[in-house]
Every structure is written in C-alpha cells, then in structure tokens.
C-alpha cells in the first residue's frame, strides 16, 4: 500500500494559524512529526487524527492511495 499527501500539510497548518513554533510550544505535534511532514514521510494514526482535528478535515482530504507501481515511478510515497 502506498499513500501520498494530497496537500502541503505544514502550509495548510500555517494557513490555519499553526506555525511550527506554535505546534511545538503548545505540544500539538512533536518535532519528529513536524520533520516527517516536511519529508512527506508516514505519521502515526494518532498524529493523523490530530491533524484532522487541527485542519477540520477528513483523512481522505490529507492522504491518497496510489498504486505501488506508480509510486516507484515518482518516488512520492509515504507508505
């Protein structure tokens, strides 16, 4: 299974008023999670839940399934 982010999550958070300093200071997301989002790497279900809460969206608004073959061609997976 390969999942890719459909949006720039950190930019979407920033647009909602959550810059990385605020995310860390208010302990909304750990630095390691913020780094994973920068790298478009996988995050935990708990963090995905938190993102959906902060962005007022559904997981499908953040992630998209892409067949493995297509991911290997683009290298865009967060599997």
Domain boundaries, the chain: 3-74
pLDDT for 33 equals 97
pLDDT for 75 equals 56
pLDDT for 79 equals 40
- pLDDT beyond 80 at 76: no
Residue 62, both tokens: 């953040």
Per-residue pLDDT reduced to its tens digit, 1-57 = 589 999 999 999 999 999 999 999 999 999 999 999 999 999 999 999 999 999 999
pLDDT for 63 equals 96
Which H/E stretch holds residue 55? helix 45-55
pLDDT for 1 equals 52
How far apart are alpha carbons 25 and 64 in whole angstroms? 30
- Class of 3-74 in CATH: mainly alpha
């Amino acid at each position: 299974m390969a999942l890719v982010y459909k949006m720039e999550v950190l930019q979407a958070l920033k647009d909602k008023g959550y810059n990385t300093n605020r995310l860390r200071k208010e302990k909304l997301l750990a630095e390691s999670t913020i780094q994973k989002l920068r790298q478009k790497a996988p995050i935990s279900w708990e963090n995905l839940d938190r993102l959906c809460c902060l962005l007022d969206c559904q997981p499908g608004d953040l992630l998209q399934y892409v067949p493995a073959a297509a991911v290997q061609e683009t290298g865009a997976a967060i599997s």
